[in-house]
Structure 1
Amino acid sequence: MNKNWLERIRLTPRIGFFLGFFGCVFLLSMGAYFQFVGGLEPCPLCISQRIGILLTGIVFLIAGLHNPGRAGIKAYAILGTLAALGGGAVSVRHVWLQHLPPEEVPECGPGLEYVFNNFPLTETLKLMLSGTGDCAKVDWTFWGLSMPAWTLVAFLMLAALSLLQFWNARPRGSESSRD
């Protein structure tokens, strides 16, 4: 009985990858909505998380369009998981900064536009991945979780969806599989 239930909810890898891609599109759309409609300016860590979502979405899109065999599905699943966990690591840093006592919050830095125009790329990347005092401010919550906390949840769900493709890569019953 359990096997039938699991088999009924099992998606093709292509559908699974496209679901992940559309999830990433949704997340990026929400970020744009909060920025352009809600007036919330993204901090360096927010932008880094958006880049993580974008990279994860690109992996999912390429995997869905490519529709590879079992070996390719596993490779894309690993890439998607790594991209999602990389973005999740940035989210963890962001949540950690938001929970620091006020006296331990790092100083606010210059705006990103200024940094991009006047700092070397290595310094810009360091700032984008370590955050500033701006990143410690909580502008929005839902059910007690800040936006970076919800983004962390989303990254973990994307990583899980990507890992599920290993299960989807197994051949089904009498279907032939491509390698």
Structure 2
Amino acid sequence: MIEFLDDWRVRHWSLAGLAFSVLMMAVALGLEHLGGLEPCPLCIFQRVAVIAAGAVFAVAAIHDPRGRGGAVAYGLAALVAVGAGIGLAGRHLWLQSLPADQVPTCGPGLDYMMEVLPLQEVVAMVLSASGECAEISARFLGLSLPGWTLIGFLVLAIAPLGLLCRSLRRRSGYRWPGGERQD
């Protein structure tokens, strides 16, 4: 299996990451439009992180750089987006774990905040918590939706890490056990 992945170029890793980003967004939109679950502000921010990672993967797949620098640049950019998503999903899970008396009060809706406040204040307000984000609206196999989103981001992190590992192996001339030198 490792040898198979060793042959993957930037385009392969990027297409895998893009496909998983599309899957994550399809599930989120399906739950919203078919399942009737309204996303809270943190859910929307997590969607933005998925879209940002997907955009990086799409550009990387189209560009398909041959040099190490491109793989590193795209890998780091996608890892930043995925890392932001992991942080947001973790924050969401933390809010859901709070006792009822410690849950912050609900603030105004995200649409209203976006209309009347500067973007920095909107981000600060959403990250400082909103009571609606602490509500658990659905569970699947014992995990809330932010728990599944966190798992999704962890799986999605494989693609940028694959890009970075690929470029490091090519740089150092690393050999897989029993394999040829990778140049």
Structure 1 residue identity aligned to 2:154: L
Instruction: Trace 1:1-179 onto structure 2 (pairs within 5 A).
Output: 5-10=1-6, 11-68=8-65, 69-169=67-167, 170-171=169-170
Structure 2 residue identity aligned to 1:166: L
1:66 to 1:38, Cα distance in 2 relative to 1, 3 A: same
1:8 to 1:118, Cα distance in 2 relative to 1, 3 A: closer
1:120 to 1:168, Cα distance in 2 relative to 1, 3 A: closer
Query: Is 1:53–1:87's contact at 8 Å kept on the other side of the alignment?
Result: yes
TM-score calculated relative to the size of structure 1: 0.88
Relative contact order (C-alpha < 8 Å, sep 6+): which is higher? 1
Which aligned runs of 4 or more in structure 1 are off by greater than 6 angstroms? none
**Cα drift, residue 143 of structure 1:** 1.5
**Cα drift, residue 174 of structure 1:** 8.2
The separation in 2 between residues aligned to 1:144 and 1:70, in whole angstroms, is 42
Q: Which range moved further: 130-139 or 120-129?
A: 120-129
Q: Which range moved further: 66-75 or 112-121?
A: 112-121
* Structure 2 unaligned residues grouped into runs of 5+: 174-179
The separation in 1 between residues aligned to 2:165 and 2:86, in whole angstroms, is 23
- Paired residue total: 172
The separation in 1 between residues aligned to 2:17 and 2:124, in whole angstroms, is 28
State the Cα deviation string for residues 123-149 of structure 1 (Å, max 9, x = none). Answer: 212123333000001111111111111
Identity %: 38
Structure 2 residue identity aligned to 1:29: A
SS at match of 2:105: coil
